[in-house]
């Protein structure tokens, strides 16, 4: 759930570290955690310690509840691609899956060593493998579920990564890719990168056109591929939940027209608020907005 590991160059500016020497993803996260004014971002991204507490908070989040609903009724072996610190591996294991966490970064803070420590502290049997998503060291059809949180937009070869995920998934299995950045045109990419709260630290972010993701998934063999749009699911609302987003809308509307009590009453119904979000999604062209994909492998 971070960038492809390796040496990256930090860009000076926007409060980033005041040097341009090569740095790792780990050092960027450590720097971020040491910024008092970025504390909420650290919490929202589950980069805080203790790691077990962060993993428990993720497992209790609206995002994970929606993911768990997608997985309901499925059992067996799950592969967590780009597992990062292991919060999704933890959640998958708590849901009863036999989990393999794929994470190429050996870091004790943001990588495989962190996952091993989390598994040991939580007494959970998470198998950790250090490898990239483009070359999965597993047999064909080995997993019942493949899960990837904010991974596809970091891949160096999107088509190959999707093909590998399809290959290791059993027939009738499910691939869930959540929180992928989408742009409307290639011209939007730089605007997204400039606005991203972490890209200036390590230069590792990216985003694709929606059709680029769908093409890679379908060319790999997945069918059907379901799409969750940015405002359709709590999975994509980061850093908001539905309730905090509703409160933000109420606050914004009350600053322009009619008092806060009116808007709280008007938007208090979940059905009304869902309809408003559905309408707003038709006009949502934010560079880097989040989409999620539920891709099936035919039985």
Tokens of 120: 């040991």
Bond before 31 cis per omega within 30 degrees: no
Looking at the structure of the chain, the number of domains it has is 2
Q: 60 and 203 in one domain?
A: yes
Q: 178 and 60 in one domain?
A: yes
- Is residue 199 in a domain? yes
- Is residue 126 in a domain? yes
The count of other CB atoms within 10 Å of the CB of residue 106 is 15
Q: What is the b/e burial string over 126-157, where b = at least 16 CB atoms within 10 angstroms of the residue's CB?
A: bebeeebbbebebeeebbbbbbbbbbbbbbee
**CB neighbours of 115 closer than 8 A, spacing ≥ 6?**
83, 85, 86, 89, 101, 103, 126, 128
Domain extent for 256: 234-281
Rounded CA-CA distance 87/119 in Å is 10
Q: 71 and 48 in one domain?
A: yes
Q: 94 and 71 in one domain?
A: yes
- Is residue 267 in a domain? yes
Tell me if residue 122 falls in helix, strand or coil.
helix
Predicted confidence at residue 1, as pLDDT, reads 54
Q: 260 and 151 in one domain?
A: no
**CB neighbours of 272 closer than 8 A, spacing ≥ 6?**
266
DSSP assignment letter at 249: H
Q: 48 and 22 in one domain?
A: yes
Residues of the chain with pLDDT below 70 are: 1-23
- Is residue 66 in a domain? yes
Instruction: Check which CATH number belongs to the domain holding 73 and give it.
Output: 3.40.50.150
**CB neighbours of 189 closer than 8 A, spacing ≥ 6?**
183, 206, 207, 287
Residue 150 near residue 25, CB atoms below 8 Å:
no
Rounded CA-CA distance 71/176 in Å is 9
Residue 149 near residue 2, CB atoms below 8 Å:
no
- Is residue 3 in a domain? no
Taking only the tens place, the pLDDT of each residue in 113-137 is 999 999 999 999 999 999 999 999 9
Tokens of 246: 């509703």
Predicted confidence at residue 131, as pLDDT, reads 94
């Amino acid at each position: 759930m971070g960038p492809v590991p390796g040496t990256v160059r930090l860009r000076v500016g926007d409060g980033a570290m005041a040097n341009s020497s090569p740095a790792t993803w780990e050092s960027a996260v450590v720097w971020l955690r040491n910024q008092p004014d970025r504390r909420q971002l650290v919490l929202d991204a589950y980069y805080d310690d203790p790691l077990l507490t962060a993993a428990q908070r993720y497992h209790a989040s609206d995002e994970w509840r929606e993911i768990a609903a997608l997985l309901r009724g499925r059992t067996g072996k799950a592969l967590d691609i780009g597992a990062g610190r292991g919060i999704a591996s933890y959640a998958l294991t708590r849901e009863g899956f036999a989990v393999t966490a794929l994470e190429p970064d050996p870091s004790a803070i943001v990588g495989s060593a962190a996952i091993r420590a989390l598994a040991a502290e939580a007494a959970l049997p998470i198998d950790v493998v250090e490898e990239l998503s483009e070359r999965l060291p597993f047999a064909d059809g080995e997993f019942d579920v493949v899960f990837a949180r904010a991974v596809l937009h970091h891949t160096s070869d999107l088509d190959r990564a999707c093909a590998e995920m399809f290959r290791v998934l059993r027939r009738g299995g499910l691939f869930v890719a959540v929180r992928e950045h989408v742009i409307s045109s290639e011209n939007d990419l730089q605007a997204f990168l400039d606005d991203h709260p972490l890209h200036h630290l390590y230069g590792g972010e990216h985003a694709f056109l929606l059709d680029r993701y769908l093409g890679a998934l379908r060319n790999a063999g997945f069918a059907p591929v379901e799409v969750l749009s940015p405002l359709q699911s709590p999975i994509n609302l980061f850093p908001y939940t539905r309730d905090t987003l509703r409160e933000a809308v109420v606050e914004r509307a009350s600053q322009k027209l009619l008092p806060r009590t009116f808007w709280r009453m008007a938007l208090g119904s979940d059905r009304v608020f869902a309809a408003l979000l559905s309408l707003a999604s038709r006009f949502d062209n934010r560079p880097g907005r989040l989409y999620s994909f539920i891709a099936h492998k035919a039985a």
